[in-house]
Structure 1
């Protein structure tokens, strides 16, 4: 009988350690050192001396929790949310806004320097910020029937349990004000056990609620929900086997610049309207667009960047993998045609940008500038293809610094220089890091 070696799991030590925190990482964890090992400590800030207990002990690093804090950092602030200690939505409400931004800025700089091997000065990495609270115009709330009541809120950190929130200070006020009355309404429904989740949106066209249900609602519940929607002057969508608007069917839209972009409540839109506006303005500024430019907008969605670019450029070509979003981009072009440059030629293509033909019809030789805004997986395939082109400007917007760094390495190896970086503070109080990079020949 063969005996196989099974490595023993490294157990964290029960020994109490006292350390001084010297930095904050991009995830809101304090960083300390002990016996040559880096330790990441939840809820600890630079300048604080703390007793800690290891919760995870790896060969290169460890994680720990605070047992006792001997002093408070000047950057420690009181969280505004009463649910902060339980809710998994935010990780950095105890950290002053400036330190949050500095930690993300430092993390982005270090990662990009390491991967691209380019010497990027701190002044080349800016921070685009707006309101630190009351910024989120879209949120999905989990719903669970528990102990005779409907619980509605966000998931507890590292758990599937739902925190039954009464308020959420990162939501825009119009959505925060809806939480308690909406929960009251849902708890009065006869078939509340079939409610799956709730999506809340606040855009220029008005308030929207999307109610996911796993089985048909009874007639009395249907009428109660319509009365609730009428009272709070919102559009109500029921999402069972398909999405149905049960109130006056107003086409949802949000504004970017002076353009109105229509969308479906199930479509992706940026959750921070203020940063979305600043992001588009900066991207167009970095591209240095003129009436002679032919621009390629990859992962264009419904035209968030394409249409503002079409107010300036000679030609804009948008490419998107989802058919429905391509159709919306085309519709939005028609709806906004009076605000676009009449001399600009704009067209959209459907293409899976992870699987490209050798010579895509939309990758024209006349294109001289590119903007791309991929999902978290990045844009490896298409970046590999455009990197060989002679482009003057490439602006890359990223929601995942790891894939941005990977794709940036391809561009720099092909002769592009990383000229500017920017942290887009799309999600203050959280560990999420969005960014923008400019590459030039």
Structure 2
């Protein structure tokens, strides 16, 4: 049975070496690549978010996760989760104890999600199989007050969710601060939207890309799948202008807030899919979202394109789009789809930089990769 409550941190270096050497052999079997840079994680308390199922044993609230390692799908009960941030571990017993003693909060309570930040904020989402009413809101406010009293140095908020319900007691986001080359960047992160799970490794990813684009200040950058502006904002100082696209409305709204918070003036983020952007660039379709944001694609001189796609990787049309650019920066959370996409991209480009970022410690093959490709002469 998998043990979620303990971590053998003494094995961290060995497991990372085994994982990267295995993956490196697979990449070298297919491609000519330089020796990769390897960026480590903190060995404990590295995840900024965690999700737990809830088991109600009478009035007692118990956290559990499902063990899928041997297909048994056993419930594994836990009181701590060292993989998660220290703040999540500090909050877990306090939240469970309070809800256990307040029936209005425990009835048909089935899941809890924690989202925390390096800057000390926490957003706790309580999920229910019942409609939440005024009595729940009143008791949830009491819980929030209790947590804020217990953790006066942290900013804590609560959300209640049920079928077709989302109840905010205050806000549905946290504000993270990431440090890149000794400069701090501030990001709004919204509940239920994508954020990098390992914040310290995210800082290393941003630093790596920033360092490898420092000589491109007279050119422009295109970013696809930009999320809340995580990369674009940190790279704004390296480029003349940046145009970024993202399909998620929530992420685009956060990105606009993040642009303003970081006083970035040379970045525009537009809600377009990669496919829609390709159509716009090929002048097959006109999009009001470009016109309304005063974006004229002909005014951009992009030598570099950056992509951080979902696990499914890139489709053929997007790969064909990337091949137009002199420099391709590909951030991937899935080595399998990355290898598949590189088979096509290396027809026109050579791999000039390669990095592994251990976003997901103690996993056999799950790792973030960074690849920089340069067009062959």
The normalised TM-score by structure 1 is 0.71
The answer to whether the aligner puts 1:429 opposite 2:377 as a matched pair is: no
Asked if structure 1 preserves the Cα contact closer than 8 Å seen for 2:319 and 2:344, the reply is: yes
The answer to whether the aligner puts 1:252 opposite 2:174 as a matched pair is: yes
Shift of the alpha carbon at 1:140?
A: 1.0
The answer to whether the aligner puts 1:134 opposite 2:68 as a matched pair is: no
Give per-residue Cα distances to partners, 1:229-254, cap 9 Å, x unaligned. Answer: 222222111122243221x4485211
Change (3 A) 1:347 1:218: closer
The answer to whether the aligner puts 1:410 opposite 2:344 as a matched pair is: yes
The counterpart of 1:336, out of the listed 259, 262, 268, is 262
Return the alpha-carbon distance in structure 1 between the equivalents of residues 2 and 333 of structure 2.
25
Q: More displaced, 147-156 or 318-327? A: 147-156
Match of 2:304 in 1: 369
Cα RMSD for the two superposed structures: 2.6
Write 1 or 2 for the structure with the bigger share of helix: 2
Match of 1:108 in 2: 23
Asked if structure 1 preserves the Cα contact closer than 8 Å seen for 2:59 and 2:101, the reply is: no
Match of 2:252 in 1: 326
Shift of the alpha carbon at 1:326?
A: 1.6
Match of 2:289 in 1: none
Match of 1:268 in 2: 194
Return the alpha-carbon distance in structure 2 between the equivalents of residues 380 and 88 of structure 1.
36
Give per-residue Cα distances to partners, 1:270-320, cap 9 Å, x unaligned. Answer: 111111111101012123343212011111001000111112310111111
Shift of the alpha carbon at 1:369?
A: 0.7
Give per-residue Cα distances to partners, 1:191-249, cap 9 Å, x unaligned. Answer: 52422311112222612101122312455544333222222222111122243221x44
The counterpart of 1:198, out of the listed 108, 112, 131, is 112
Asked if structure 2 preserves the Cα contact closer than 8 Å seen for 1:154 and 1:163, the reply is: yes
Asked if structure 1 preserves the Cα contact closer than 8 Å seen for 2:4 and 2:78, the reply is: no
Asked if structure 1 preserves the Cα contact closer than 8 Å seen for 2:187 and 2:230, the reply is: yes
The answer to whether the aligner puts 1:154 opposite 2:65 as a matched pair is: yes
Change (3 A) 1:95 1:411: farther
Match of 2:166 in 1: 243
The counterpart of 2:314, out of the listed 373, 379, 383, is 379
Match of 1:307 in 2: 233
Change (3 A) 1:89 1:329: farther
Change (3 A) 1:278 1:388: closer
Match of 2:50, SS? strand
> Which protein, 1 or 2, shows the higher relative CO under an 8 Å CA cutoff with sep ≥ 6?
2
Asked if structure 1 preserves the Cα contact closer than 8 Å seen for 2:63 and 2:79, the reply is: no
Q: More displaced, 393-402 or 97-106? A: 97-106
Return the alpha-carbon distance in structure 2 between the equivalents of residues 154 and 350 of structure 1.
36
Return the alpha-carbon distance in structure 2 between the equivalents of residues 314 and 264 of structure 1.
29
Structure with the greater alpha carbon radius of gyration? 1
Change (3 A) 1:407 1:209: same
Return the alpha-carbon distance in structure 2 between the equivalents of residues 228 and 161 of structure 1.
30
Q: Can you give the 5+ residue segments of structure 2 that lack an aligned partner in the other structure? A: 149-155, 284-295
Return the alpha-carbon distance in structure 2 between the equivalents of residues 132 and 363 of structure 1.
44
Match of 1:288, SS? coil
Return the alpha-carbon distance in structure 2 between the equivalents of residues 381 and 427 of structure 1.
28
The normalised TM-score by structure 2 is 0.83
Return the alpha-carbon distance in structure 2 between the equivalents of residues 395 and 160 of structure 1.
38
Change (3 A) 1:94 1:275: closer
Match of 2:190, SS? coil
Asked if structure 2 preserves the Cα contact closer than 8 Å seen for 1:89 and 1:154, the reply is: no
Match of 1:350 in 2: 271
Return the alpha-carbon distance in structure 2 between the equivalents of residues 112 and 354 of structure 1.
28
Match of 1:86, SS? coil
The counterpart of 2:2, out of the listed 74, 86, 106, is 86
Match of 1:188 in 2: 101
Match of 1:310, SS? helix
Q: How does 1:110-125 map to 2 (within 5 A)?
A: 110-116=25-31, 118=32, 120-121=33-34, 124-125=35-36
The answer to whether the aligner puts 1:170 opposite 2:83 as a matched pair is: yes
Shift of the alpha carbon at 1:407?
A: 0.8
Match of 1:231 in 2: 146
